[in-house]
Amino acid sequence: MNTRSLLTAVLASTLCIPLLASNAVPAVGQAPVSADMASMRHAMPNATFTLRTGIAQGKMVYVGRGGPIDGKVNPVLAVHEGDVVQITIINGEGAEHDIVVPELHAASQRVSGPGASSTLVFHANDVGTFQYFCSVAGHRDAGMEGQIKVEAAAPATADKGTSIVRDPTDLPPPVGERGPTTVRYDLEAIERVGRLDDDTTYNFWTFNGKVPGPMLRVRVGDTVVLSLKNASDSLMLHNIDLHAVNGPGGGAVLTEAAPGETKTFTFKAMQPGLYVYHCATPMVSNHISSGMYGMILVEPVAGLPKVDREFYVMQGELYTAEAYGHTGEQEFSVEKLLDEHPEYFVFNGAVGALTKEHPLHAKTGETVRIYFGVGGPNFTSSFHVIGTIFDRVFNAASLVSPPLAGVQTVTVAPGGATVVDLSLPVPGRFVLVDHALTRMERGLVGSLIVDGPETPGIFHAGDGTQVSVQGTH
Ligand SMILES: [Cu+2]
């Protein structure tokens, strides 16, 4: 049907390595390509499908798994022009199979043995209908075939949901030199249907309408007067527990507010640190998962070392009844929460928050600080920025202990935080991840885009001769 298809395809039986040599997916920027980054491109398809081989009505078939194709036999795989399409085939019954799309020059490896899998990735550049099938002799005739439909670019849909994403640059400036004072904060618990992913919404519970809640910033010795209003259109009780507080419940008991109520309490910030706050109304983990977390920074007397840019990033996970990737409004699943089986992992509230909506930007030579916390409620983060090394880590967000130097990955507990500083000698796109990298497949990824001149003395393709050539011209 379409012999001059521009689609290119590659095979990736495991996450990444064979893809270095391929040009299957265009680079996101002009960034130099590291092995890690090559894998990242392929880990960020925007149309993903899983097919399991099996027997249905006496025929050999592919059965859709997860998302809108769940349970469907030889499902039509609908994608849009320009999508990066990822298809994973899982061997369901043990016979040898593969999946090929000759018109798109795409083919998986053969898989034999129950549970074996292979993944293919391609870029859907042409509109049309294309056949996929198993190339093992006789299997196509036995029933293993279906269609991939590439439609013209998606029309704008009516309501993709309000953004609940907190811009990572939305944080107060350093406190600066001053003595202790009284600081007043007004927070509002707001329940709001917001965008969780493209074409997917969720009924978030938030502080001030965004996830995470606003970053609060005070100095040690300050007195904080904190009011929590629960919006009148809320359905739930809400409160706030700040880990910076010395006092029962961290303030939760004193701030429990019914819809329409406002509660106020006062505390003294006794210890410097970066602290998580969250709603602590039962079921606490439900309130946190739905978005009710944020951080308060209590600066030491002398403040923190000066940097050029600061960012505010938090990680959380969501438990939806439907599998990751379903469109439409998603309902919370208490069963999945109790099983600690999340469907989504997100930075700053939603899939794409720190890639499409608010990527982090900096310039080479600048120093950058990330205030990073985990709302959770349940999963520890192994925070890492691919292509960088943390120069300074305030481990466990302790700001009075000496920082660590030269750190690759930082463990951050739920209800915990870290402060990491990095310098950026090389331009390009760097990738924020939890190095439990399976979570990328469930939405957890961010971008740090660094602009500036190339620095071949630090990073370049090829061998050392290129450096001297470039250095003499
Ligand atoms: Cu709450």
Span 208-254, pLDDT tens digits: 999 999 999 999 999 999 999 999 999 999 999 999 999 999 999 99
Which long-range contacts link 57-61 to residues 24+ away (Cβ below 8 Å)? 59/142, 59/143, 60/95, 60/134, 60/139, 60/142, 60/143, 60/144, 61/143, 61/144
Band of pLDDT at residue 67, cut at 50, 70 and 90 = confident
Q: Which CATH superfamily is domain 309-451 in?
A: Cupredoxins -  blue copper proteins (2.60.40.420)
Tell how far the Cα of 276 is from the centroid of ligand 1, in angstroms: 15
Please, what is the average pLDDT of the chain? 88
Query: Per-residue pLDDT averaged across 109-117, rounded?
Result: 92
Q: What is the pLDDT of residue 252?
A: 97
> Which strands, in side-by-side order, build the sheet including 360-363?
360-363, 446-451, 428-434, 381-386, 409-412
Residue of 203 and 82 predicted with greater confidence: 203
CA of 115 relative to ligand 1 center, distance in Å: 41
Buried-exposed string 144-161: b where 16+ CB fall within 10 A, e elsewhere: bbbebebeeeeeeeeeeb
Residue 188 alpha carbon to ligand 1 centre in Å: 10
Question: What value does the mean pLDDT take over residues 158-170?
Answer: 87
How remote is the CA of residue 273 from the centroid of ligand 1, in Å?
Answer: 24
Q: Look at residue 35 in the predicted model and tell me its pLDDT.
A: 40
Over residues 331-354, mean pLDDT: 97
- State pTM to two decimals: 0.75
User: In 314-373, which ranges are continuous DSSP H helix?
Assistant: 334-338
C-alpha 360 to ligand 1 mean position (Å): 29
Look at 33 and 228; give whichever has higher pLDDT. Answer: 228
Poorest-pLDDT segment among 43-47, 286-290, 292-296, 356-360 = 43-47
Give the DSSP letter of residue 380: P
What integer is the mean pLDDT of 132-145? 95
Pairing between strand 47-56 and 84-90? Answer: parallel
Q: Are 94 and 112 in contact (CB under 8 A)?
A: yes
Q: Is the pLDDT of residue 297 over 50?
A: yes
Mean pLDDT over residues 333-345, rounded? 97
Q: Which residue has the higher pLDDT, 214 or 9?
A: 214
Percentage, residues of the chain above pLDDT 90? 78
**21-31 exposure pattern, b = at least 16 Cβ within 10 A, e = fewer:** ebebbeebeeb
**What is the total residue count of the chain?**
473
Residue ranges of the chain assigned to CATH 2.60.40.420: 9-151, 182-299, 309-451
Q: Is residue 304 pLDDT above 50, yes or no?
A: yes
Dist. CA 261 → ligand 1 center (Å): 13
CA–centroid distance, residue 377 to ligand 1 (Å): 13
Check residue 57 and give its pLDDT: 85
Q: Does residue 357 register a pLDDT over 90?
A: yes
Reply yes or no on whether the pLDDT at 31 is more than 80. no
Q: What is the pLDDT of residue 467?
A: 53
Query: How far is the centre of ligand 1, averaged over its atoms, from the C-alpha of 238 (Å)?
Result: 4
Q: ∠27-370-408 over CA atoms, to 5°?
A: 70
Residue 447: its pLDDT value, please? 97
Top-confidence residue, 155 or 268: 268
Asked whether the beta carbons of 410 and 393 are under 8 A apart, the reply is yes
Span of 132-141, 277-286, 462-471 with lowest mean pLDDT: 462-471
CATH topology of domain 182-299: Immunoglobulin-like (2.60.40)
What is the arithmetic mean of pLDDT over 113-123?
A: 89
Query: Which residues on adjacent β-strands are paired with residue 122?
Result: 9, 85
pLDDT of residue 155: 52
Expressed in angstroms and rounded, the spacing between residue 206 Cα and the centre of ligand 1 is 8
- 409-412 vs 360-363, strand pairing mode: unpaired
* Cα separation, 393 vs 414, whole angstroms: 18
Whole-number Å distance, alpha carbon 278 to ligand 1 midpoint, is 8
Q: What is the whole-number distance in angstroms between the Cα of residue 290 and the centre of ligand 1?
A: 8
The yes-or-no verdict on residue 36 having pLDDT over 60 is no
Tell me how far the alpha carbon of residue 205 lies from the centroid of ligand 1, in angstroms. 7
b/e code 288-324 from CB counts within 10 Å (16+ = b): bbbbbbbbbbbbeeeebeebebbbbbbbbbbbbebeb
Question: How far is ligand 1, taken at its centre, from the CA of residue 281, in Å?
Answer: 5
User: 240 C-alpha vs ligand 1 centroid, how far in Å?
Assistant: 8
**Is the pLDDT at 150 greater than 60, yes or no?**
yes
CATH class of 9-151: mainly beta
Residue-wise DSSP of 233-300: T-SS-B--EETT--SGGGGHHHH-B-TT-EEEEEEE--S-EEEEEE--SSSHHHHHHTT-EEEEEEE-
Q: Give SS3 for 168.
A: coil
* Cα(152) to centroid(ligand 1), Å: 42
**Rounded Cα–Cα distance for residues 6 and 105 (Å):** 9
Most confident option among 28-42, 155-169, 386-400: 386-400
Spacing, Cα 352 to ligand 1 middle (Å): 24
Give the distance (Å) from ligand 1 centre to CA of residue 233.
Answer: 14
For residue 202, what pLDDT is reported? 97
pLDDT of 38 over the 60 cut:
no
CA 282 / ligand 1 centre spacing (Å): 8
Tell me, in angstroms, the distance from the centre of ligand 1 to residue 349's CA: 15
Residue 319 above 80 pLDDT?
Answer: yes
Q: Residue 279: pLDDT above 80?
A: yes
How far does the centroid of ligand 1 lie from the alpha carbon of residue 280, in Å? 6
Res 453: pLDDT:
96
Residue 429 β-bridge partners: 449
Compute the distance from residue 267 Cα to the ligand 1 centre, in Å. Answer: 20
Choose the weakest-confidence range: 205-219, 357-371, 459-473. 459-473
- How far, in Å, is the centroid of ligand 1 from the Cα of 416? 19
Going along 350-408, which residue ranges are E strands? 360-363, 367-376, 381-386, 390-394, 404-407
What's the confidence (pLDDT) of residue 166?
98
Instruction: Classify residue 278 as exposed, middle or buried by CB count within 10 Å of its CB (0-12, 13-18, 19+).
Output: buried
| Span from the CA of 382 to the centroid of ligand 1 (angstroms) | 26
Query: What's the gap in Å between 283 CA and the centre of ligand 1?
Result: 9
Ligand 1 centroid distance, CA of 237 (Å): 6
For the chain, helix (H) and strand (E) counts, in that order, are: 5, 30
DSSP type of residue 320: B
Instruction: Measure 246 CA to ligand 1 centroid, in angstroms.
Output: 21
* Ligand 1 centroid from CA 226, angstroms: 16
Tell me, in angstroms, the distance from the centre of ligand 1 to residue 316's CA: 15
Q: Which helix (H) or strand (E) holds 467?
A: helix 465-471
Helix spans in 272-417 (H): 284-289, 334-338
